[in-house]
Structure 1
Amino acid sequence: MKSTNAPLWPLLLGISLLFTAAGMLHAAPSEPQWQALNHSLVSEHILPRYQSLQRSSAELATSTAALCRQPDQTHLERAQADFQQTMDAWQSVQNIQFGPITTHMRNFSMQFWPDKKNLIGKQLNQLLQQQNPDTLSVDYLYQASIGVKGLPALERLLFTGSLSDLENTSYRCQLTQTIAAYIAVNSQATLDEWTDGYADSVSNAGSEASYYDSHQEAAVDMMKALIEPLEAIRDQKILSPLGDGQVRPRRTESWRSQRSLRNIQLNVATLHHLYSGTKKSVDSLLRQQGRAAQADNISTLFNAIEQQLQAVQAPLITSLHQPETVKQLLEISAALQQLDRELSAEMITLNIQLGFNSRDGD
């Protein structure tokens, strides 16, 4: 009887080739792919946002100076409008927590929040009571506490009290002008450092002159800027104000200028753009890795969250007391958590280890 046993090596070779092909399909992106992605994210996402922050903060410095020269309702409204534009610009780049914005803790100087112990209120009131003219300089603010030199302190000065407070207390108006000038100086310095060196460091990752050892390492910072803010938005900007059965509207971000909801909308829109809004994007990279279905799902989640946010009534300082608003925000919170999970799972496909969360401990 003839044996029917056939050699196993052709079958094993075929299986080996099949797994090799599958591995190639889902292989981690190459260094050139990471380089192309990083270049797009810097040139099309990060730099334009820092340019917007520089322009708007310069206009804010100009309008607050004009307010102090002529403290009337027209100039106050102009300064308030420029504050809103500057906060728009900041919220659109708030997710970038690496690079020049971290030099001398500029990120915290720009916006110290959440302020759980009312540090800003205590220290700002102390300055207003003492009215020391030596504190009315940008140089002084470089040495001052982070509580009195950023956008939250400026918000208190521009959106609380009355016009007569600025008319009758020249120190208050001059402090407003000084803080605005400090914000403008730091915005300019951050942009300058990106354009004068840090962007090149990202582009030339792996060289001796670069901060990064590889393009993939540089991409880790980009991916953290995409994923880490989702938890911060959910926990700090939504769930904390909702409280544990009792809403606390004054825990919302920027409630004095009635822009808490707008901040969240801008944050999500920014992350959506970081994910898929550039020529070379995370979305396109996932598709190249054979993850089109997952990329579609992430895009769908972004679109759904943005639509949900548009349906929420503003301002949150008042609408948070409505059960419908609470329900909507809880649904948005759940969607953000799902988006976080989906994006984090895809980091495995891209062979990205996010590691320590820079926002832990906030």
Structure 2
Amino acid sequence: MSHRSVLKHLGRLGLAAVTLAGPPLYADDSSEARARWHQAIGARYTLLAEAGSQLEASAQAYCDAPDAEARTRLEDDWLEAYQAWQGVRFVDFGPIEQQSRAWQLQFWPDNKNLVGRKVQAWLNTDAPSTIEAIAADSVAVQGFPALEYLLFDEHMAPPRALATPRACGLLQAVSGHLADTGAALVRDWRAFGEHYRGTDSYTAATLQAGLLTLETLEDKRLAEPLGLAGSVANGYRAEAWRSERSVRLIEASLSGLQDSFLPGLRPLLAEAGQPGLANDFATALDEARQRAATMAPGLAPALDDTAAFAELQGLYVEISQLSWLGQRIAGALGLVRGFNASDGD
């Protein structure tokens, strides 16, 4: 596959295009980087599949005996699986592209509350809630946000609301669909391996995926809901606002970059004569992750808490530093940002 073909493909996906500023500095070590990336990303998909399977089992156990202990286990396993997805969310090519799987796992942003509307529509219908029916419906009802609505939305607050047959049926169908998606990603990523490892252009695609994730963390996942991007602060713009777990998801994304993106980045920067830049990036990444790990789990509540808001501003500054290092990395490796189809006119 030529670089021109890859750029055209990325443009269709609405991602920032990548061009090469002269000969790519990472060419000699790109096969080693891709081998490391393939292994590390595969391990993350396996974690997602295992967590999804456990979540499905916990949903079944809760519906069989909906007591407080089973409910706590269900909520914990939902977060565990959601965090597992965040750890590999930066990958935006390959099997995750099939059937809009990333959207199936996490429909976000959701400015029109489509998740809430779709879940309520299912709760108000007599149609059977099956994995097959969920798979055939909108991505707004297929993923972690839909389960979050069932577990944490105020409309589900009355005692035992989740334990009703309609709600439990939907809970099991959505969690089953998530488990199936995770298992399919493991299988398909393994099958994708030979093509990925043997195709030079996936080096640029993987670099772009990791660096774009930093921009998304900075701009979409922090600046917008905190009102740091020229807009009014709005907690409803945050991920996982219903469960108040936004910061836990950010922490998981940073952790995923540590063990799934950094391993392939290091040999590329070493080949480019920039091992110190790799160390700087690794240090900044770990500092941001550690800060997130010690913070309160929610973002929306911090809007009314001066101390918590200051902590989030500090995290934003650290992730901004990571984005700046990402720009230096792009320059060191011969990458130049082109038109981003998601930027609008």
TM-score, L = length of structure 2: 0.84
The residue aligned with 1:36 is 32
Bigger mean CA offset, 72-81 vs 91-100: 72-81
The residue aligned with 1:153 is 146
Return the match for 1:323 from 292, 299, 306.
306
Letter in 1 for 2:26: P
Structure 1 pair 329/78, CA: closer, same or farther in 2 (3 Å)? closer
Structure 1 residue 334: Cα displacement: 3.2
Structure 2 unaligned regions, length at least 5: 1-22
- Tell me if structure 2 keeps the 8 A contact 1:249–1:320: yes
Write the deviation string for residues 175-207 of structure 1: whole angstroms up to 9, x where unpaired.
110000011111111111111x211111222xx
Structure 1 residue 287: Cα displacement: 2.7
Write the deviation string for residues 335-355 of structure 1: whole angstroms up to 9, x where unpaired.
323322322232233223454
Return the match for 2:160 from 161, 164, 181.
164
Report whether the alignment pairs 1:204 with 2:201: no
Return the match for 2:331 from 332, 344, 348.
348
Write the deviation string for residues 46-100 of structure 1: whole angstroms up to 9, x where unpaired.
0011001111111111121222222222222222121111111111111111111
The residue aligned with 2:274 is 291
Matches within 5 A, 1:98-137: 98-133=93-128, 136-137=129-130
- Tell me if structure 1 keeps the 8 A contact 2:284–2:318: yes
Instruction: Quote the Cα distance in structure 1 between the aligned partners of 2:275 and 2:184.
Output: 40
The residue aligned with 1:251 is 237
Instruction: Quote the Cα distance in structure 1 between the aligned partners of 2:75 and 2:202.
Output: 37
Instruction: Quote the Cα distance in structure 2 between the aligned partners of 1:230 and 1:253.
Output: 16
Report whether the alignment pairs 1:221 with 2:205: yes
- Tell me if structure 2 keeps the 8 A contact 1:73–1:163: no
Report whether the alignment pairs 1:70 with 2:65: yes
Higher relative contact order (CA 8 A, sep 6+): 2
Bigger mean CA offset, 345-354 vs 59-68: 345-354
Which is greater in Rg? 1
- Tell me if structure 1 keeps the 8 A contact 2:148–2:243: yes
TM-score, L = length of structure 1: 0.80
The residue aligned with 2:176 is 181
Matches within 5 A, 1:303-342: 303-342=286-325
Instruction: Quote the Cα distance in structure 2 between the aligned partners of 1:27 and 1:233.
Output: 27
Structure 1 pair 93/269, CA: closer, same or farther in 2 (3 Å)? same
Instruction: Quote the Cα distance in structure 2 between the aligned partners of 1:223 and 1:346.
Output: 9
Structure 1 pair 359/336, CA: closer, same or farther in 2 (3 Å)? farther
Aligned-residue sequence identity (percent) comes to 26
- Tell me if structure 2 keeps the 8 A contact 1:71–1:163: no
The residue aligned with 1:232 is 216
Q: Secondary structure at the match of 1:114?
A: coil
Q: Could you say what the CA RMSD is over the residues aligned between the two structures, in angstroms?
A: 2.3
Structure 1 pair 27/141, CA: closer, same or farther in 2 (3 Å)? closer
Structure 1 pair 185/163, CA: closer, same or farther in 2 (3 Å)? farther
Q: Secondary structure at the match of 1:90?
A: helix
Structure 1 pair 269/318, CA: closer, same or farther in 2 (3 Å)? same
Structure 1 pair 266/356, CA: closer, same or farther in 2 (3 Å)? farther
Letter in 1 for 2:274: R
Matches within 5 A, 1:51-62: 51-62=46-57
Structure 1 unaligned regions, length at least 5: 1-25, 206-214
Letter in 2 for 1:287: A
- Tell me if structure 2 keeps the 8 A contact 1:232–1:359: no
Structure 1 residue 275: Cα displacement: 4.5
Write the deviation string for residues 254-293 of structure 1: whole angstroms up to 9, x where unpaired.
12223111111111222233443x3xx3124313322234
Instruction: Quote the Cα distance in structure 2 between the aligned partners of 1:101 and 1:34.
Output: 22
Instruction: Quote the Cα distance in structure 2 between the aligned partners of 1:144 and 1:221.
Output: 30
Structure 1 residue 360: Cα displacement: 5.0
- Tell me if structure 2 keeps the 8 A contact 1:56–1:85: yes
Structure 1 pair 114/164, CA: closer, same or farther in 2 (3 Å)? same
